Structure 1
Amino acid sequence: MKNRIAGLAVFAVVMLGMLLIGEWVIRGLFADETVLFPRYHTDVQYGDYTLRRIRPNSRFRHASIDGSWEFVTNSQGFRNREDFSYQKPPNTFRVLSLGDSHTQGYEVRQDHTFSAVLERYLEKHLGSAQVLNTGVSGFSNAEALVLLENEGLRYDPDVVVLGFFGNDLEDNIKAGLFKLNEAGDLVPARYEHIPGVRIQNIIYSIPGVQWLSENSYFYSVLFNSTWDFFKNRLTQQASEQVAEYAVPQKTEYSNYEIALAEALLERLHQVCKDNGITLVVVDIPLLVRDGEVVSSFPDSLQEAARQHSDIFIDSKTLFSDYAGAIELQLPHGHHHISEFSHALIGVAIGEGVLRPQD
């Protein structure tokens, strides 16, 4: 018995030593490239759909060579400090923000996301305002639509903001929640999309794992490598699905990806119109390089986005004067849009919402 205990102790010491060496090597060689961006997703039921959200009532940090950022979520899993009742307070202007990690505010402080900036802007001009930041990293337009129809409408928003980023076209396929039938109509395809959630539910129940995810470079590389493997496998499956429906164009996106995104935008807009809600679509810049802003919308989809929204925030119009003069995207990490970009977007949305519409 004593020999067994001694053997286990030696094994534990050896494993700890290997982990410490691994941490030292990763920090020494890859400190500039490694990010500590734990996702903290869990599952949530919205009507018949099972989707992912950020863990409710959480407080955690992200870090990279560019900085450190705190995240706080409310009981609904939104990146807000306060909880929201379904019933809107009297004389309050309410906005629902939908989107992926750009909307959630990766690499941005809690009070500097475009949702937070928009809330302060509206409070200044209207008195009482609430902006619900429901952004979730990896979210597609399909998931945003499901969230709006099955949960978001219950909050009685006056405005819905969709943060659109270029990878949404592929993510719509990965999600697999909707498809286009032979007639080109948008129809349900399945009712669950929770990539990586089941394993996160397990590992984050283990004491110490949250600390590792926010502080250990070695753990981050190990977890993200595993995550990327399954993400790439899902991407391959999505590509095969696209091939079943359309012949890919000689561009970055296939006909089917563009058609599906357009159908999702059209339905989002129709849902908003049916409920007296203003829809704002934000074109989050795909890339800012050498003074040039690259839109997230392919040319063939941008016109549809303008048609299927009440207010369209054009990234080239909004950012071109600043490109090359100020940091619009983070230089390292995952290159999310900067706090300056969030501020521009938040104010632009506010100005558009308060401007009389035709």
Structure 2
Amino acid sequence: MQLKKRQLIGRSLLFIFSVLFTVFTLEGMARWLTDRQLLSYYQPLHSKIDPATEDWRWTHTFDDSNFTADYQLFWRPINNRFPFDDRGNAQSEEFVSFRTSPEEPKILVYGDSNTQGLSATSWANQLQLLLLSHQIPIEVMNRGVVGYSSYQGVQRLKKDLQTYKPKIVIFSFGWNDVAPSANAPDPFFKPYPRIGGDLFALSRAYGVGVFYSNKFLRSRDVKPPPTNYSSLSTLYQPRMTIDLYVQEFKEMYVLTKQHGAEPLILSRPFNTADEDFSDPQNWRSRVPAYNNALRQLMRDDRAHFVDLEAYFIDKPQFLFDECHFIPEGHRVAAQLLFEHMLEFKLL
């Protein structure tokens, strides 16, 4: 009996070793071959479902050199690779080297590309400069990430609350939330298997498998029917519906309060001079509706809401395209936020 038991244990260990050896060998070979460009792996910038969808999630998840794949966030910054520092904060050329101890309360800033900012500056960086110039030694951590929706912002906030102590949490989303989804809204978007998702997100072998399986399916003409999601057709669905969008802001508000901090919600500024906003068939024309939903949510709470859309609506000179500030726009936005914080004694 003891002999059989030892044999069973031995065979089990041999099986486990064989599986692990095979997995590590495949992963090592995949990385060696893809690093030398002898094999390709899943890079949806080149192979996403339909270029007309404008679903940027695949691009940033798999094919943006500043980001690495993440099971929950889809993509996250690579630390210590410009424009991100060793904690994943967005930096700029005007970055202020000011850092407080981990236990000191901070201003945590979440948003999309307009929050991450330009290589030259960002409104979060300008806010830090204003605070220091007024002898207010609070660190501003710019957690803005290009392409992020409110869902991703809340997910990153949840992770950050395990590490950082916030004094104020600033939330600025509403562009990527409206952008079209090629398959599922963000809370239901699963680019990796549910079981072992974190491992699959890091696996080059998995990426190779996905790339060549998709290539095979395309060669067999197995693909979804072409759809132009830049038009508000009956098949259009945003990355976040208005209800989901508002729900994320509510969760952010509650989480922030639970951690003894003050939430500050911003409407999403944009350039109405852009012709896309005058076209009711373009998804961008729905951005104002999302801002209106925020106004309704915050109508009785002026202290925790700054209406950037209302301020910049007739000032297209502060944006260089449909939704991004020029450097002066970042400075003006920071000044507005700073004055609001002083007025309502949030600092």
TM-score w.r.t. the length of structure 2 is 0.57
Once the two structures are aligned, what percentage of the paired residues are identical?
A: 18
State the partner residue of 2:308.
315
Q: How many residues align?
A: 247
Amino acid in structure 2 at the alignment position of 1:109: S
Q: Deviations over 1:212-235 (max 9, x none)?
A: xxxxxxxxxxxxxxxxxx9x9999
Using the alignment, how far apart are the partners of 1:75 and 1:268 within structure 2? 25
Matched, 1:117 2:126: yes
Q: CA RMSD in A?
A: 4.6
315, 328, 336: which one aligns with 2:324: 336
SS of aligned partner of 1:158: strand
Instruction: Please tell me whether the aligned partners of residues 262 and 301 of structure 1 are also in contact (alpha carbons under 8 angstroms).
Output: yes
Q: Alignment partner for residue 337 of structure 2, among 341, 349, 353?
A: 349
Structure 1 stretches of 4+ moved >6 Å: 189-199, 232-236, 290-294
Contact 2:124 2:142 in 1 (8 A): yes
- Report the structure, 1 or 2, having the larger strand content: 1
The answer to whether the 8 A contact 1:265-1:308 is kept is no
The 1:320/1:286 distance shift into structure 2, 3 A limit, reads closer
- Residue type of the alignment partner of 1:329: L
Q: What one-letter code is carried by the residue in structure 2 that aligns with 1:260? A: L
Which residue pairs with 1:154 in the alignment?
Answer: 163
Deviation digits for residues 253-307 of structure 1 (CA, Å, limit 9, x no counterpart): 79x8111111111111011111121111122223331899974735344312556
Residue 311 of structure 1 deviates from its aligned partner by: 2.2
Query: Any gaps of 5 or more consecutive residues in structure 1?
Result: 1-36, 60-70, 179-188, 204-229
Counterpart in 2 of 1:136? 145
Code of the aligned partner of 1:347: Q
The answer for the alignment partner of 2:87 in structure 1 is 76
Distance 1:233 1:85 in 2: 51
Aligned pairs for 1:7-46 (under 5 A) are 40-44=66-70
Larger-Rg structure: 2
Distance in 2 of aligned mates of 1:195 and 1:346: 40
* Preserved contact between residue 270 and residue 319 of structure 2 (Cα < 8 Å): no
Could you tell me whether the CA contact under 8 Å between 1:79 and 1:104 is conserved in 2? yes
Matches of 2:297 and 2:335, distance apart in 1: 24
Q: Mapping of 1:155-304 within 5 angstroms?
A: 155-170=164-179, 174-176=185-187, 257-289=241-273, 295=288, 297-304=290-297
Q: Please tell me the residue identity of whatever aligns with 2:110.
A: L
1:7-36 deviation digits (Å, cap 9, x = unpaired): xxxxxxxxxxxxxxxxxxxxxxxxxxxxxx
1:311–1:202 distance in 2 versus 1, CA, 3 Å: same
Give the alignment's TM-score, normalised by structure 1: 0.55
Aligned partner letter, 1:315: L
Q: Secondary structure at the match of 2:134?
A: helix
Counterpart CA distance in 2 for 1:52 and 1:281 is 23
CA contact (8 A) 1:177 1:193 kept: no
Per-residue CA deviations over 1:49-91 (Å, capped at 9, x if unaligned) read 45422211113xxxxxxxxxxx3x21122213659677234xx
Residue pair 2:67, 2:76 contacting (<8 A) in 1 also: yes
Is there any run of 5+ residues in structure 2 with no aligned partner, and where? 1-62, 209-222, 279-286
Taking a change above 3 Å as real, the CA distance of residues 274 and 50 of structure 1, as seen in their structure-2 partners, is same
Residues 325-348 of structure 1 deviation map (CA, whole Å, 9 limit, x = unaligned): xx22214xx752222221121111
